[in-house]
Amino acid sequence: MNIRQQKLPIQILEQIDDRCAAFEKAWQTGNPPSIESVLSEGVSDQERDVLLAELIVLDADYRRRRGESPEASQYLDRFPDHADDIRDALNEGDRPSSGFVPPPVQRVADMFPNLQVIELLGAGGMGAVYKAKQEGLDRVVALKILPAEFAHDAKFSLRFTREARTLAKLNHPNIVSVFEFGNVQDTFFFLMEFVDGPTLRDVVRAGGLAPKHALEIIPHLCDALQYAHDNGVIHRDIKPENILLTHQGTVKIVDFGLSRLLDSPSQASDLTGTHQVMGTPRYMAPEQFEGTHQVDHRADIYSLGVVFYEMLTGELPMGRFAAPSQKVAIDVRLDEVVLRTLEKEPSQRYQAASEIKSDLKSIADSNDSGLAATLVAGDIPVKSTADHPGQRMPADVDHRGVQQQESATRWLLTRRDLMNQVQSALKPLFRWQAVQIIVGVLLIGLGAFGWSQNIGNPTLMTIGIIVHVYGIVFIAAAIAVMTRIKRIDYSQSVDDVRARITRIRDLYLRLTPLIGFPWWLMWIPAGVAAGLDQILHPNALIPSLIIGLVGMLLSSWLYMWVQRPGSQNAEVWKDKFAGNSFRNAAKLLDECRSLGIR
């Protein structure tokens, strides 16, 4: 029987898990035991084969990290009676290459009858995530499934339960919780905490992250990393996509240990709740990117440094990059903190995430008059699990720090939501401009038909040309408004967004007489161009043009008069003429100002 097919009681699996955990801890402390010594410690026959296979996987893994190249033959010489198990354990198996297609919702629902599978949230090259509900607990969860190919990888099968149990033990307010894990119909899965909120990537991309808010968030990421590292878990894929911001105002890191579990640290994949994006080497530590096996918790510290730099500056530290203070107005002492996390040599970096937080706390508490406005003394809390290395459960949380973190996150989410609403408020105007283009195309066609069919009749040909040109102006005006709406950068300050929208409104108001009031003149020419001149009064054209001209001039005069400079009601009339889109956008921007959002 293949080792991955063995069904063992949970008590036996727990014993194997404990022995493997002790074996790993001994390796991590520099005193690696022999596999034989572990097997000699009262191991039952029932667990021996599976334990041997797991120990071989771990032993080979740590030897590779040490620069060695263990071969199956080395273990076969020591354990000749377990040749099949050794080959199975060291076999990399068939890995999913590309083109993973997430199963449809109904298929997943059939696999998990105890869940109400609601929708597919996203998918990447290494799996998919679904939104589901545990009806008995009335709890919404995230169901993460890995490609079925992993079920045929014995090495992965051996590691999954032990690693997943470790991940499920992580209990920290800034780490997404794992509720359940297992294998159903040759599909490995995690049942996780559902986070209904954007990723840090969304916030950075939207430009809604001020340096002060970055400095309020980073200490809590340090707490999460220190807690995980104290519990022997390395993330290996810290990046903005794996940092979630909840609508309750909490920062959470997702996918702890997944890169190690998937045994793909140099190809870090991203299965992050609602946002599935394949990992990028730009956040990896040099030793991780270069494929060495000397990867430890300090790789997470480097990745956190990349995230920190990007949060402060909006850019990635690539090539010969400038210190953060040269990009934004921050305390120059922060340069040392950021640059130390980005040291190429692990020994030159911070050796613990708690050290980063401690230095930020020291800067924040400093009374130095040169301290930049991005930091306020006391903004960064110090009490956390980071101050108690080796503790396996989180210490009491600094409630003041949590409140500041939640305040910063809610500020970011509020700004993001309001800016999304501003963008949505302008959509009806944008759609109307699209309709206007369609009408303009019809007018161009109608005018072309009118003048092309009446080349011998100067009057009718002139009418067709008038309609044709009017259609072109109609389209040009719509395009002018649409392009300016699309160019609005909602990541800029509220005042900048307001100024841009105000300029679009003023343009729209200037174009109104040009494209709106000529309709006084257009109805008879359009009818004539359409070939309806036979049913019109023979002398209708001239009086209609006179009446149309008078109406257009009078309307234009009234339009300009109510908006004349100095009029008390000028802005009121401008709002009325501009329409609901501009009016609603202005109200939302006023709300931003009232909330102190800039």
CA distances from 472 to 368, 448, 478, 479 (A): 64, 11, 10, 11
Domain range 201-413, CATH architecture: Orthogonal Bundle (1.10)
Instruction: Determine contact, residues 339/323, Cβ cutoff 8 Å.
Output: yes
Instruction: Determine contact, residues 447/471, Cβ cutoff 8 Å.
Output: yes
- Rounded distance, CA 330 to CA 374, Å? 6
Can you give the pTM of this predicted structure? 0.57
In 3D, which of 276, 275, 250 has the Cα closest to residue 177?
250
Full DSSP string of 432-448 = HHHHHHHHHHHHHHHHH
Residue 199 DSSP label: B
Instruction: Determine contact, residues 89/155, Cβ cutoff 8 Å.
Output: yes
Token pair 């396996």 is at which residue? 392
> What's the confidence (pLDDT) of residue 154?
56
In 3D, which of 368, 400, 430, 377 has the Cα closest to residue 579?
430
> What's the confidence (pLDDT) of residue 264?
41
105-193: CATH superfamily: Phosphorylase Kinase; domain 1 (3.30.200.20)
For residue 560, how far is the Cα from the chain centroid? 47
296 is catalytic: no
Instruction: Determine contact, residues 130/145, Cβ cutoff 8 Å.
Output: yes
Strands 187-193 and 243-245: unpaired
Would the CA dihedral through 563, 569, 573, 575 be positive or negative? Answer: positive
Helix (H, G, I), strand (E, B) or coil at 129: strand
The amino acid occupying position 218 is I
> What's the confidence (pLDDT) of residue 225?
94
> What's the confidence (pLDDT) of residue 151?
63
- Rounded distance, CA 424 to CA 431, Å? 11
- Rounded distance, CA 167 to CA 159, Å? 12
The amino acid occupying position 511 is L
Long-range contacts (CB closer than 8 Å, 24 or more residues apart) made by 8-14? 8/46, 8/47, 8/50, 12/44, 12/46, 12/47, 13/161
Residue 520 token pair = 């006084």
- Rounded distance, CA 518 to CA 513, Å? 7
> What's the confidence (pLDDT) of residue 465?
79
Instruction: Determine contact, residues 179/25, Cβ cutoff 8 Å.
Output: no
> What's the confidence (pLDDT) of residue 389?
38
What element of type H or E holds 253?
strand 251-253
Q: Which residues contact 220 (CB under 8 A, 6 or more apart)?
A: 174, 251, 401, 402, 405
CA distances from 1 to 6, 16, 88, 535 (A): 7, 19, 11, 93
- Rounded distance, CA 205 to CA 193, Å? 25
Backbone phi and psi for residue 225, each to the nearest 5 degrees, phi listed first? -65, -45
In 3D, which of 547, 567, 565, 543 has the Cα closest to residue 555?
547
CA distances from 419 to 505, 585, 592, 593 (A): 18, 9, 9, 12
Residue 12 burial (C-beta neighbours within 10 Å; 0-12, 13-18, 19+): middle
Residue stretches of the annotated binding site for ATP: 144
Instruction: Determine contact, residues 214/372, Cβ cutoff 8 Å.
Output: no
Q: Where are the domains of the chain?
A: 3-90, 105-193, 201-413, 426-594
Token pair 């997470």 is at which residue? 300
In 3D, which of 439, 476, 431 has the Cα closest to residue 581?
431
Strands 139-145 and 116-124: unpaired
Residues in the chain, pLDDT under 70: 1-11, 46, 85, 88-100, 124-126, 149-159, 207-208, 257-280, 289-294, 366-416, 450, 454, 457, 459-460, 491, 516-542, 544-545, 562, 566, 568, 570, 595-598
Catalytic residue among 237, 255, 270, 331: 237
Would the CA dihedral through 154, 129, 246, 177 be positive or negative? Answer: negative
| Count of beta carbons in the 10 Å neighbourhood of residue 48 | 14
Q: Which residues contact 297 (CB under 8 A, 6 or more apart)?
A: 225, 229, 234, 352, 353
Task: Work out the widest C-alpha separation in the chain, in whole angstroms.
Answer: 114
Instruction: Determine contact, residues 178/217, Cβ cutoff 8 Å.
Output: no
Length of the chain: 598
SS3 content of the chain, % helix, strand, coil (to 5): 60, 10, 35
HSE, side-chain direction, 13 A CA sphere, residue 183: 17
- Rounded distance, CA 480 to CA 469, Å? 17
- Rounded distance, CA 134 to CA 418, Å? 32
Instruction: Determine contact, residues 132/112, Cβ cutoff 8 Å.
Output: yes
In 3D, which of 75, 53, 38, 39 has the Cα closest to residue 6?
53
